[in-house]
Amino acid sequence: MNRSAIIILAVVVLFIGFLAVGLMRGDPRALPSPFIGKPAPRFELPMLKDAEATVGSGDLAGKVSLVNVWATWCAGCRQEHDFLLELEENNEIPIYGINWRDTRPKALQWIAQLGDPYVASGYDADGRVGIDWGVYGAPESFLVSGDGTVVHKHLGPLNRETWERDFVPLIEAGEITQ
Amino acid sequence: MKRWFVLMSAVIGMSSAMAIDTGKAFDDPELQARYEKLISEVRCLKCQNQSIKDSNVFLASDLRREIRRMIAEGKTDPEIIDFLVTRYGEFALYRPRASGKTLILWAAPFLLVLLGGFALFRVVRHRMSLPVDEAAGEGSTE
């Protein structure tokens, strides 16, 4: 084995390493959000339940909250709905909804039938706010700290396990620093 | 058999009927050209191997709408690309911009060519330093 052979072998091993990391990265559709650690995008939407009222960034201020992007056409949203209700019942975190690319009657019916875990939901019919938040597939959940920083983003349905693992430690840390 | 044929032609017909909003977005050919170029360079995040030009999901049509709006408002291409990258990250672009984060992407091909050239140089130099018949012998045994 001369030096060149060792170098070439090292490069091959390096590339196999890249490949292994790429393959074991988990869900390839889960993209890192560019908002983590940055201020949450400003938004102001008509409220789902009351088109005259609005819900927006001002409502999130001063407390740790969860912003949940949902729609009635989204199967994952149905999956996580019971868990969101559980969070609400236990008073674990205030949840604000962004009802994304949906129709008001369907969304209202969903909430009436399945229960309403949200402090309030904004009605984003044309997806404009969804774009501002970098949403590309519901459900998406953003953990926003009291000063309006996006601390964590979860793609796909939430459940107790991911909640305890990915959210709870951050929430506890957030409350200490506030 | 016949039913299959009918079903298949219905499916094929549907896929062309569902084609994207192909109508012109701008009357000005210059703006239209910019629009077409931009939408072919933005990845559809929902359907990751398509550009938003080729995709029919509503996220893609929302993004096309935003790009149309920004072009109409007189925004420049870098401003529009910036809008997308701050929201969806560098991954949204089929041609990531050269920056600190994506440097490795852009530099890797050149580094690999250099590395290959270096390896070749080493091998050739090694062979040239051998006596002629020995070099031929080494080549034939490999």
Residue A112's contacts (CB-CB under 8 Å, 6 or more residues apart) are none
Range of the domain at A14: 1-30
A134 shares contact with chain B (CB less than 8 Å): yes
State the average pLDDT for chain B.
79
Contact yes or no for B57/A135 (Cβ under 8 A): no
Q: What is the pLDDT of residue B136?
A: 55
Q: Is the pLDDT of residue B106 over 80?
A: yes
Task: Specify whether B118 is located in the same domain as B136.
Answer: yes
pLDDT at residue A108, as a whole number: 97
Tokens describing residue A130? 């969804």
Domain contains B13: no
H-run or E-run covering B31: helix B29-41
Mean pLDDT of A4-33: 81
State residue B18's pLDDT score. Answer: 45
Q: Confirm whether B113 is domain-assigned.
A: yes
Ranges A101-115, B38-52, B117-131: which has the least confidence: B38-52
ipTM of this complex > 0.85?
no
pLDDT value, residue A110 = 96
Which residues are CB-contacts of A4 (< 8 A; sequence separation ≥ 6)? B119, B122, B123
Same domain, A147 and A103: yes
Closest CA to A74 of A32, A134, A123, A136: A136
Cis peptide before A32 (omega within 30 of 0): no
Same domain, A73 and A145: yes
Same domain, B54 and B43: yes
Q: How many domains does chain B have?
A: 2
pLDDT at B115 over 90: no
For residue A2, give how far its alpha carbon lies from the nearest alpha carbon of chain B (Å).
11
Residue B1 within any structural domain of the chain: no
**pLDDT, tens digit, 9 for 90 and up, residues B8-30:** 655 555 544 444 565 678 888 88
- Say yes or no for a CB contact (<8 Å) between A8 and B119: yes
Domain holding B90, by residue range, is 24-97
pLDDT (average), residues A62-71: 95
Position B18 in a domain = no
- Residue B121: alpha-carbon gap to chain centroid: 33
pTM value?
0.75
Q: What CATH code is carried by the domain that includes residue A151? A: 3.40.30.10
> Rounded to a whole number, what is the distance in Å from the CA of A32 to chain B's nearest CA?
8
- Per-residue CA distances from B128 to A162, A172, B104, B105, B135 (Å): 62, 67, 35, 35, 8
B87 in a structural domain: yes
User: Rounded to an integer, what distance in angstroms lies between the CA atom of residue A120 and that of residue A94?
Assistant: 9
Closest by Cα among B65, B74, B39 to A126: B65
User: What is the share, in percent, of chain A residues with pLDDT greater than 70?
Assistant: 94
Residues B37 and B91 in one domain: yes
Please check whether residue B43 is in contact with residue B53, taking contact to mean a CB–CB distance below 8 angstroms: no
pLDDT band at A177 (very low <50, low <70, confident <90, very high): very low
Q: Give A57: exposed, middle or buried? Use CB within 10 Å, 0-12, 13-18, 19+.
A: middle
Do A12 and A69 belong to one domain? no
What total number of domains does chain A contain? Answer: 2
The C-alpha of A134 sits at a distance from chain B's nearest C-alpha, in angstroms, of 5
Question: CA-CA distance, A15 to A137, in Å (whole number)?
Answer: 31
The answer for residues whose C-beta is within 8 angstroms of residue B64's C-beta and 6 or more apart is: B21, B25, B39, B52, B53
Contacts of A133 in chain B (CB under 8 A): 87
Last residue of a domain, one of B82, B97, B112: B97
Q: Tell me the pLDDT tens digit for each residue of B31-90.
A: 999 999 998 888 877 776 677 777 767 888 899 999 999 999 999 999 999 999 999 988
